[in-house]
Amino acid sequence: MSNEPRTAIVTGAARGIGAGVAQRLAADGMKVVVLDLDEAACELVAKEIREAGGTALAAGCDVSDEAAVKTTVARVVEEVGAPTVLVNNAGIIRDNLIFKMTLEDWEAVMAVHLRGSFLMTRACQTHMTEAGFGRIVNLSSVSALGNRGQTNYSAAKAGLQGFTKTLAIELGKFGVTANAIGPGFIETEMTQATAARIGVPFSDFTAMAAAEIPVQRTGKPEDIAHTASFLVSEGAGFVSGQVIYVAGGPRD
């Protein structure tokens, strides 16, 4: 095994869960590519990582754009090294009840979550199979089990679970594992936006959520980062095709 630090790409890493995961993987000793739509926003996270002693590259990329993905992954190989760890975290919400949901809202969510994860994985898996080592982590959600007002998001997150299990079957013989994390309520800009949309103060929103969670608190990005850190580690090589709900209690 090479002593060279592994290169990890984390998508949707300019904020929230993605930023937390990027910072944790950098702390674990990986070279991290902070990838999101806005490279300037990525640079803020990358700079924090570098100031903490880590190695990070900021990369602006629309994960749903095939040409952009190919160009960005090629840049990563050239500037940082071949990526053998990929965390597909990029995502958006366009919530509405089914009778109000537009086709554009449906397709936008599918494009980022499903098309984006497919394109990023297809581009990176070549480097993983060549190295004989790879770790893919896809961010699903407890919403994959169904959630009012999220037919698009729920369908995309459920789709990622099937995607993950099939990757595990196809890539396992090459030393590549694929797993999914299904976060519960995590305090991010996305959940703050949800609270604002329904007109509830965020403190009240989190308190109501915590009351329904067995551990009696809501999650932080760090909770997801800890789980991702394990799944991409050398020691997790016998864990593949799994969906791990990180939600403060059991989920079916």
Residues with catalytic annotation?
A: 153
Whether the CB-CB separation of 87 and 11 falls below 8 Å is answered with yes
The two most distant CA atoms of the chain are separated, in Å, by 55
d(CA 182, CA 247): 8
Q: Which long-range contacts (CB under 8 A, 24 or more apart) does 63-69 make?
A: 63/11, 63/35, 63/88, 63/90, 63/112, 63/115, 63/116, 63/117, 63/119, 63/120, 64/111, 64/112, 64/115, 64/116, 64/119, 65/119, 66/119, 69/116, 69/119, 69/120, 69/123
* Closest by CA position to 59, among listed 78, 39, 83: 39
- At 102, the amino acid letter reads T
DSSP per-residue string spanning 39-96: HHHHHHHHHHHHHTT-EEEEEE--TT-HHHHHHHHHHHHHHT--EEEEEE-------B
Tell me how long the chain is: 252
